[in-house]
Amino acid sequence: MENMETVVQYMQDYGIIFLFIIVYLEYLNLPGLPAGIIMPAAGFLVATSNINFIYALVISVLAGMLGSYSLYALGYYIGNPVVDKVYTKFKKSRPAIDKSFGYLDKYGNKGVFISRLIPVARTLISLVAGTGKMKVWSFTIYSIGGIAIWNCGFILAGYIMGIVVR
């Protein structure tokens, strides 16, 4: 709970821009605070301040898409050497990356949407989709749907918690 309180404090201090930055970094799959803390903290802040729920959700989806586009571009333009480097450097991420490739192979474009709803795979799918040269328009549509559902669920959980605590 202490981590969530810290995130809420930063959001209160720095506003919605903090939410954008931290969600962007989280969708780059960088180590730090997981969505399970970031998004509920945003919802808690929405419930206890004058920030609009839809506004916070839209900001989180935009930040998620920007982070996703960054990894997608890395995969698209550099591709397999990046995946090989991740395999070597972060051995624990290999099953999630392999699972993401599997979802794309099995479900096609819908694999991006499905992966967006699975922890770890949801951020790695961008690199995988770029490496597989998925059309950016399809990547965008399926990503927005999955990101919106994931972020909304967690922000809503924090919002409900904020209402109960209030």
State pLDDT tens for residues 67-100.
Answer: 999 999 999 999 889 888 888 887 887 888 888 8
Query: Mean pLDDT lowest for which of 44-48, 62-66, 71-75, 153-157?
Result: 44-48
Looking at the 3D structure of the chain, how many domains does it have?
1
Q: Find tokens 């991420």 and name the residue.
A: 93
The contacts of residue 151 (CB under 8 Å, 6+ apart) are 23, 35, 39, 57, 60, 61, 64
Assessment of whether the complete model's pTM goes beyond 0.85: yes
Give the pair of three-digit tokens for residue 134. Answer: 């998925």
Q: Extract the tokens encoding 131.
A: 């490496």
**112 within 8 A of 69, measured Cβ to Cβ:** no
Rounded to an integer, what is the distance from CA 112 to the centroid of its chain?
12
Question: Domain of 111?
Answer: 2-165
Confidence class of residue 32 from pLDDT cuts 50, 70 and 90?
Answer: low
Q: How far apart are CA 36 and CA 34, in angstroms?
A: 5
CA distance 3 to 129: 32
